Amino acid sequence: MNWLLDLSPDEWNAVRLSIKVATVAMLVSLPIGIAVALLLARGRFWGKTLLNGIVHLPLILPPVVTGYLLLLAFGRRGPAGAFFAEYFGLVFSFRWTGAALACGVMGFPLMVRAIRLSIEAVDRKLEAAAGTLGASPLWVFATITLPLILPGMIAGAILSFAKAMGEFGATITFVSNIPNETQTLPSAIYTFTQVPGGDEGALRLTLISVVISMAALIASEVLARRVGRRMDIE
Amino acid sequence: MSVVVDIGHRQGGFSLDAAFESSGRLTALFGPSGSGKTSLINAIAGLIRPQRGRIAVDGHVLVDTGRSVFVPRHKRRIGMVFQDARLFPHMSVAANLRYGRWFTPVSERYGDIGAVVELLGIGHLLERRPGKLSGGEKQRVAIGRALLASPKLLLMDEPLASLDEARKAEILPYIERLRDETKIPIVYVSHSVAEVARLASNVVVMAQGKVAAVGPTAEIMQRLDLFSHEERMEGGAVLDTRVLHHDERFGMTVLGSPAGEIRVPYLQAIAGQPVRVRIRARDVMIATEKPHGLSALNVLAGRIAAIEPGEGAAVEVKIDCHGVTVMARITRQSQHALSLTSGREVFAVIKTVSFDQANMATAPKEQFDA
């Protein structure tokens, strides 16, 4: 156990950074994911197939390609990167924020899929009933739809978190592999495997990675079960 | 209080083109499935947007396609009880009941949870989840939930259709109490003659997307030509009577009506209480002179008002008994043998035991006193 926890400061930073990046990626993409899932599940508009395709692209493209596209769009000289830097003071390139962006984008299709499925499973008759009781569409969403899709939201969030914990290709392409800034667990493991005598460090981080992923999975199971019990759908 | 509907709506191969006006306490929309009843009340509730027409409740215009008026459902204040209760599965029964109250301005609220819970007998369910309730319990909670949103009009879309006979019998008295003890007018969709005869003060008959007839319940129930084959067997006269007294010795109740006394199996009712009875046409015999040595206890004197052709071997005879019409279904052969013609003095004979509990109920008050 001591051997496992006897991490160098750089290794600790990689663990902390990974958790931070994955958490931020998950939290920021959740509201966007809900909105996009709603659009895809319920919207009727021109270009829906196109939107669906774009959302799913990161799932199909080689991660390196996604990372490179992010670099082009969100890099210092990229149009989106320049926009965020100028108006929000938010810089992505070679920063941990960029790692979070890359992880969020890679996990996005998984999150949207899970939420979309749960939205499609919601009985719209319940929403109609809430409407006749005086609830405006916004209230119907907040008091009926949202609670009913909670299990799907939890599943989507956990999938996104897990994907972010394991994301490697897009991250390293977009923001490189800078210790203390963009070196997440997978990058750190990769670095260890590239130097002689790094096997022990790689194994340590690998085990830590397994533990964190398992913990996230178990947490989501417990949460989903608790919500499901509360719901008790007919 | 009045409901005025005049709409046209086309959806797929079905077209609805219906107009009616009602100011009754409980208006039944009656007709076979697919006749457009549900589309009609969905339009009143704002769940569908009719392509043409006008809907007004109590003078408030909810839909007027000519003036592009369409009030969204959540601003209509029209309660709806669905066939499939549609309780919110993630809330307790109590939270379901309180849901609509939340969205009702304090000044427009009426009734309180305690009274509604008592009216519907759902006090023991409040902490439960909807998933654990029986069909009848769910439907009672759904009625309570709609009531507590303080609606101006309550729509009920075949609330009993998915329940078995025992559950129906359990809920019907609650709907009667609702009709008689609250001031909310009700529009009740049904394809069951028994329910309509028992509950309605007015009936709107729908067929193939159109209104086939409108009128007071007693009048419509005699129009057997409006009914399908199975329902024809259930059709007949609807009489609003009062309890005169009970005959404890034989376990019977004696009802008073303009046609004369009617003896029925014992009823839980006090003297003077209004009771509505349905006399199925097939349960009535006709005698040309006052019968002797007959087991049937109810013999009503009257005059044949009309004889209409029935299905197959049957004819339907309308007998005017001192102002109320009783119907009899007899064979053409009997009509011939007794040479029954319009205007002839006859006696309508009804067995006491042909009145079962489902055919007797408290009568709706004629006037809606809002």
We report the CATH number of the domain holding residue B16 as: 3.40.50.300
Angle of helix A63-74 relative to helix A96-121, nearest 10 degrees? 110
Q: Count of residues for chain A?
A: 234
Is there a contact between B18 and B206 (Cβ–Cβ < 8 Å)? yes
Strand, coil or helix: A102: helix
Calculate how close chain B gets to A6, using CA atoms only, in Å. Answer: 47
Region A11-17: what's the mean pLDDT? 87
Region A31-59: what's the mean pLDDT? 93
CB atoms within 10 A of CB B145: 28
Query: Is the pLDDT at A158 greater than 60, yes or no?
Result: yes
Shared domain for B81 and B184, answered yes or no, is yes
Residues of chain A contacting residue B84, judged by C-beta atoms under 8 Å apart: 125
Shared domain for B66 and B190, answered yes or no, is yes
Does the residue B64 lie in any domain?
A: yes
Is there a contact between B264 and B233 (Cβ–Cβ < 8 Å)? no
- Paired tokens of B32: 């076979």
- pTM comes to 0.80
Is there a contact between B161 and B32 (Cβ–Cβ < 8 Å)? no
Region B21-26: what's the mean pLDDT? 85
B216-228 per-position pLDDT tens digit: 888 888 887 777 7
Rounded to whole angstroms, the Cα distance separating B353 from B265 reads 7
DSSP state of B307: E
DSSP state of B292: -
B255-279 per-position pLDDT tens digit: 998 888 899 888 888 888 888 888 8
Q: What's the complex ipTM?
A: 0.80
Q: What angle do CA A91, A94, A100 make, to 5 degrees?
A: 70
Query: Is the pLDDT at B306 greater than 80, yes or no?
Result: yes
Chain B contact probe: residue of A132, A141, A153, A234 with most B CBs at under 10 A = A132
What does the DSSP assignment read for A23-39?
HHHHHHHHHHHHHHHHH
Per the structure, how many domains does chain A have?
Answer: 1
Rounded to whole angstroms, the Cα distance separating B99 from B95 reads 6
A89-123 per-position pLDDT tens digit: 888 988 999 999 999 999 999 999 999 999 999 99
Put simply, whether A231 touches B (Cβ < 8 Å) is: yes
Percent share of chain B, pLDDT over 70: 97
- Cα dist. A21→A36, A99, A162 in Å? 22, 7, 11
Does the residue B297 lie in any domain?
A: yes
Pick left, alpha or beta for residue B220 (phi over 0 → left; psi -120 to 50 → alpha; otherwise beta). Answer: alpha
Query: Is the pLDDT at A1 greater than 60, yes or no?
Result: no
- Paired tokens of A153: 């939201």
Q: Count of residues for chain B?
A: 370
Shared domain for B283 and B144, answered yes or no, is no
- Cα dist. B312→B85, B316, B332 in Å? 40, 11, 9
What residues make up the domain containing B326?
Answer: 237-362
Shared domain for B200 and B252, answered yes or no, is no
Shared domain for B35 and B148, answered yes or no, is yes
Q: Which residue has the tokens 């069951």?
A: B192
Shared domain for B71 and B166, answered yes or no, is yes
Does the residue B227 lie in any domain?
A: no
pLDDT band at B42 (very low <50, low <70, confident <90, very high): very high
Does the residue B8 lie in any domain?
A: yes
Chain A contact probe: residue of B74, B87, B101 with most A CBs at under 10 A = B74
- Paired tokens of B22: 């009602």
Rounded to whole angstroms, the Cα distance separating B163 from B159 reads 8
B125-168 per-position pLDDT tens digit: 999 999 889 888 999 999 999 999 999 999 999 998 888 888 88
What does the pLDDT read at residue A4? 65
Shared domain for B287 and B247, answered yes or no, is yes
We report the CATH number of the domain holding residue B293 as: 2.40.50.100
What does the pLDDT read at residue B276? 87
What does the pLDDT read at residue A230? 64
What does the pLDDT read at residue B370? 32
What does the pLDDT read at residue A73? 93
Put simply, whether A229 touches B (Cβ < 8 Å) is: no
Does the residue B229 lie in any domain?
A: no
What does the pLDDT read at residue A234? 39
Shared domain for B180 and B274, answered yes or no, is no
Does the residue A3 lie in any domain?
A: no
Residue A149 contacts by C-beta under 8 Å, 6 or more apart in sequence? A115, A118, A119, A122
Of B72, B75, B89, the CB nearest to A233: B89
Put simply, whether A138 touches B (Cβ < 8 Å) is: no
A166-175 per-position pLDDT tens digit: 899 999 999 9
Does the residue A187 lie in any domain?
A: yes
Q: Which residue has the tokens 């007839």?
A: B213
Residue A137 contacts by C-beta under 8 Å, 6 or more apart in sequence? A131, B74
Query: Is the pLDDT at B368 greater than 50, yes or no?
Result: no
Chain A contact probe: residue of B49, B99, B116, B148 with most A CBs at under 10 A = B99
What does the DSSP assignment read for B105-116?
-GGG--S-HHHH
Give the HSE-up count for residue B172: Cα atoms under 13 Å, Cβ half-sphere. Answer: 24
- Cα dist. B109→A197, B91, B117 in Å? 77, 22, 16
Calculate how close chain B gets to A136, using CA atoms only, in Å. Answer: 6
Shared domain for B67 and B93, answered yes or no, is yes
pLDDT band at B369 (very low <50, low <70, confident <90, very high): very low
Residue B202's φ and ψ, nearest 5 degrees, are: -135, 155
| pLDDT greater at residue B87 or residue B235 | B87
- Cβ distance of B99 and A139 shorter than 8 Å: no
Does the residue A163 lie in any domain?
A: yes
Shared domain for B128 and B211, answered yes or no, is yes
We report the CATH number of the domain holding residue A196 as: 1.10.3720.10
Rounded to whole angstroms, the Cα distance separating B200 from B36 reads 19
Per the structure, how many domains does chain B have?
Answer: 2
What are residue B276's DSSP bridge partners?
A: B240, B361
What residues make up the domain containing A57?
Answer: 8-231
| pLDDT greater at residue B164 or residue A42 | A42
- Mean pLDDT score of chain B: 87
Query: Is the pLDDT at B365 greater than 80, yes or no?
Result: no
Shared domain for B158 and B307, answered yes or no, is no
Calculate how close chain A gets to B90, using CA atoms only, in Å. Answer: 4
Is there a contact between A221 and A159 (Cβ–Cβ < 8 Å)? no
pLDDT band at B205 (very low <50, low <70, confident <90, very high): very high
Calculate how close chain B gets to A200, using CA atoms only, in Å. Answer: 50
Shared domain for B86 and B143, answered yes or no, is yes
Query: Is the pLDDT at A61 greater than 90, yes or no?
Result: yes
Of A125, A130, A132, the CB nearest to B78: A132
